Amino acid sequence: MKTPLVQPAAPTPTATVSEFITTFAVILAAIVGLLLFDTALARVDVAERKAYAGREFATGQQLIALGKVEAAIEHLRTASTLDGDNSAYGVALAQAILADGRPTEADQMLLPLLERNETDGATNLAMARVLAKEGKLDKAKAYYHRAIYGLWPRGADKSRTAARFELIDLLARTNEKQELLSELLPIQDDTTNDLAQRKRIAHLFVVAGSPARAVAIFREILRRDSKDADAFVGLAEAALSLGDFATARTDLLAAQKLMPEDSSSLKGRIALTDSVISLDPTQSGLTLPEQVRRSRNLVQTTLASVRKCLGVQAPQVAAALDSATLLLVSGAAAGQAQSVEQNLSLAEQLWGLRRSRCAPDGQDGALALIHGRIAQ
């Protein structure tokens, strides 16, 4: 019996180098293809999200324009969520929330945007508005300056100018005259200012206590257009601030001739100017008896104004008013008229007392103008 022969095992198939490379290339190509496909899908998704965010933002802006702030907030929030890289969406949402009366929430929304880009002009402007609303005026001023000198997109010069004028208006409202003047001086001769802006700047120079600069601007406007009624009104405002009441009246009458259909709006100013001229004891050309009469009348009028707002205040204030009354009456009773200088000094002291303790009163406009001239 023969022993069966053992068949040798079949050799393990081996791939050639070229076959291995080909297989690897196919696998790699498949992986790359899948990655590219996934990236393309992701890009499509991102593009769709950004497009949708843009539509939501546009809807929110339209609702803001219509005064529908609450509805706008939802659309702006969606836009900001879908496209968090677009700071304009976050800024718009924060401003809408501020308009809705929630400054603290708006503040918290803007902080991360500023951490991401602390030089962004629009974000700094939004934060300035929030801080102003919260009454944090010093911080608000700082953020306004960051907005003015910050980075804005090309063509956003109007936004930068708007930021400066918002700061200027804030300083005017808070009666920060020196700071206001400091902000006005750099833009006084800016050739990019249009006519309306130049008139506004001139008016603000009066508010800042620099009416002479306002006069220069308004006269330049009139050199270009001698029939600009607003410029004559502005000149009158500056003249009143300078204590030149006669010139103010002349300018108001010139404006009235140029705008007869709106002359009713000037009648009150003309009447105020006439009242000031009739009361002013420092007006040139008055006889000495008339100066004495007017100066005594000024003391009486000032005393009445002070009593109106201080009559129920501290005893020492009431005592000071009583002393002034006695001084005025005793001079008349003795038949010895006080000198004009003494009367003016007494009136000035009383007015200083009123200014330090009372809010401005529109009914004392003529009185305030006269005392302003005396103080010059």
- For position 30, what pLDDT does the model report? 60
CATH code, 207: 1.25.40.10
* Distance in angstroms (rounded) separating the CA atoms of residues 329 and 337: 10
Say yes or no: 295 and 184 in one domain: no
| Per-residue model confidence as pLDDT tens digits over 336-357 | 455 788 888 888 888 888 888 8
| Per-residue model confidence as pLDDT tens digits over 238-297 | 999 999 999 999 999 999 999 877 777 788 899 999 999 999 999 988 888 888 889 888
SS3 288: helix
Task: Give residue 339's domain range.
Answer: 288-375
**Higher pLDDT pick, 91 / 36:** 91
C-alpha pair distances (Å), 103 with each of 129, 130, 162, 264: 9, 6, 21, 41
Does the predicted model carry a pTM greater than 0.95?
no
Say yes or no: 228 and 254 in one domain: yes
Mean pLDDT of all residues in 120-139: 94
State which H helix or E strand residue 31 sits in. Answer: helix 17-65
- The C-alpha angle 126, 132, 137, rounded to 5 degrees, equals 125
Chosen domain end from 144, 174, 204: 174
Whether the predicted pLDDT of 20 surpasses 70: no
Number of domains in the chain: 3
**Higher pLDDT pick, 112 / 316:** 112
SS3 91: helix
* Distance in angstroms (rounded) separating the CA atoms of residues 310 and 372: 21
- For position 42, what pLDDT does the model report? 43
* Distance in angstroms (rounded) separating the CA atoms of residues 249 and 233: 10
Say yes or no: 256 and 294 in one domain: no
Mean pLDDT of all residues in 197-206: 95
**Higher pLDDT pick, 110 / 23:** 110
User: Is residue 13 in some structural domain?
Assistant: no
Q: Which of 4-8, 97-101, 252-256, 362-366 has the lowest mean pLDDT?
A: 4-8
What is the residue whose two structure tokens read 């007015």? 351
- 221, 198 contact by CB (below 8 A): yes
SS3 37: helix
- Cα-flanking dihedrals φ and ψ of residue 14, to 5°? -120, 145
Closest CA to 337 of 280, 301, 294: 294
Mean pLDDT of all residues in 208-213: 95
Q: Which of 11-25, 275-289, 293-307 has the lowest mean pLDDT?
A: 11-25
User: Is residue 41 in some structural domain?
Assistant: yes
249, 251, 252, 256 alpha-carbon torsion, rounded to 10°: 130
**Higher pLDDT pick, 52 / 250:** 250
Say yes or no: 48 and 162 in one domain: yes
C-alpha pair distances (Å), 318 with each of 137, 329, 353, 360: 35, 16, 11, 20
Task: At 156, list the tokens.
Answer: 């956003």
User: Is residue 24 in some structural domain?
Assistant: no
